[in-house]
Structure 1
Amino acid sequence: MKSILIILLVLLLLVAGGLYYLGKSSGDGAAPGLQGGRLAACPSAPNCVSSEDGTPEGQRVEPFPAEAWARIPSIIGELGGRVMREESDYIAAEFTSSLFRFVDDVEFRRATDGIHLRSASRVGYSDLGANRKRVAALREQLSAGE
């Protein structure tokens, strides 16, 4: 019985160490930025959502209304994110998880039909819906201030 507990403890420590390493390595890098005037396409992993045309249905979110542009940086801060880059037609922000310090990128592109957005994890495959929930929280904050 004691040897089983030791093996389970070692496995738990290995998993926690691996998650810590992934979180640490996700701090390196930056948001993909605009590519051909659009936000980068989501990878096939379910840890990304986007409003850009051509996004698969399971990863698609609706764009924000154009009049919300000026409020986006302050709402990012209210929700615990940091604006990393702000231009006249592009905003990049980072959100870091509290437990393993995973970094997610959230990007916004001002367009004639609204504000397109992309929220994606830098590492891993699944985000357990964190990026979709973040976009919903951003949308809720924008709606609350109208």
Structure 2
Amino acid sequence: MAVIAILLVALVIGVTAKMVWQNIKVPAYVGMQDGKFAPLPSSPNAVSSQTNETARKVEPLPTRATLEETRNAITHTLSQLGKNKIITLEGSYVHTVFTSAQMGYNDDVEFWIDQDEGVVHYRSQSRVGYGDMGANRARYENFKRIYSAN
């Protein structure tokens, strides 16, 4: 019995350590490749304006008159949302990390300002877990509402 208890404790510690590591490390999929975000994972914990999957697709947002005005509108909107930290703000790309208040989980949110098409592409994915209980879509809808009103 003691051996089983020790194995269970070791398993719980191992799983917890893996989740903590995933939660603190910026994933390799974050970033742009030839104007494209990484494909969405097979798990239902992400949304993107660049996917063809209807259930996980969100619409790109309109740009402002200039790149600078669009970036300012994005950062202003982010400042009005929950706990987040802008990690990258370079050219037409923005990467921010949202941290949930309840569990401290991190979600990566990316924006790509496509000036040629006049749209802001959006991608949001949870770092940890399989599902997200609709958190990434709800975040997009909230962002869209505030961004559109400014």
TM-score range, shorter chain: 0.7 to 0.9
Q: Which runs of 5+ in 1 are unaligned?
A: 1-13
Distance 2:92 2:133 in 1: 30
The match for 1:116 is 121
Q: CA deviation at 1:21?
A: 6.6
Contact residue 22 and residue 102 of structure 1 kept, 8 A: no
Q: Which runs of 5+ in 2 are unaligned?
A: 1-11, 65-69
Runs of 4+ in 1 over 2 A off after TM superposition: 18-25
Distance 2:16 2:138 in 1: 21
The match for 2:132 is 127
Aligned residues: 132
So what's the TM-score if we normalise by structure 1?
Answer: 0.79
Quick one: percent identity of the two aligned structures? 34
The secondary structure found in structure 1 opposite 2:108 is strand
Contact residue 83 and residue 94 of structure 1 kept, 8 A: yes
Distance 2:78 2:95 in 1: 10
The AA in structure 1 aligned to 2:97 is E
Distance 1:55 1:69 in 2: 26
Distance 2:148 2:16 in 1: 35
- The two structures, once aligned, show a CA RMSD in angstroms of 2.5
Q: How do residues 1-146 of structure 1 correspond to structure 2 at under 5 angstroms?
A: 22=19, 25-30=22-27, 32-52=30-50, 54-67=51-64, 68-79=70-81, 80-111=83-114, 112-113=116-117, 114-145=119-150
So what's the TM-score if we normalise by structure 2?
Answer: 0.77
Q: CA deviation at 1:19?
A: 6.9
The AA in structure 2 aligned to 1:95 is F
Q: CA deviation at 1:37?
A: 2.3
Distance 2:85 2:106 in 1: 11
The secondary structure found in structure 1 opposite 2:42 is coil
The 1:20/1:136 distance shift into structure 2, 3 A limit, reads farther
Deviations 1:35-70, CA, capped at 9 Å, x for gaps: 232111111211000001x43111100001111442
Distance 2:36 2:55 in 1: 19
The secondary structure found in structure 2 opposite 1:35 is coil
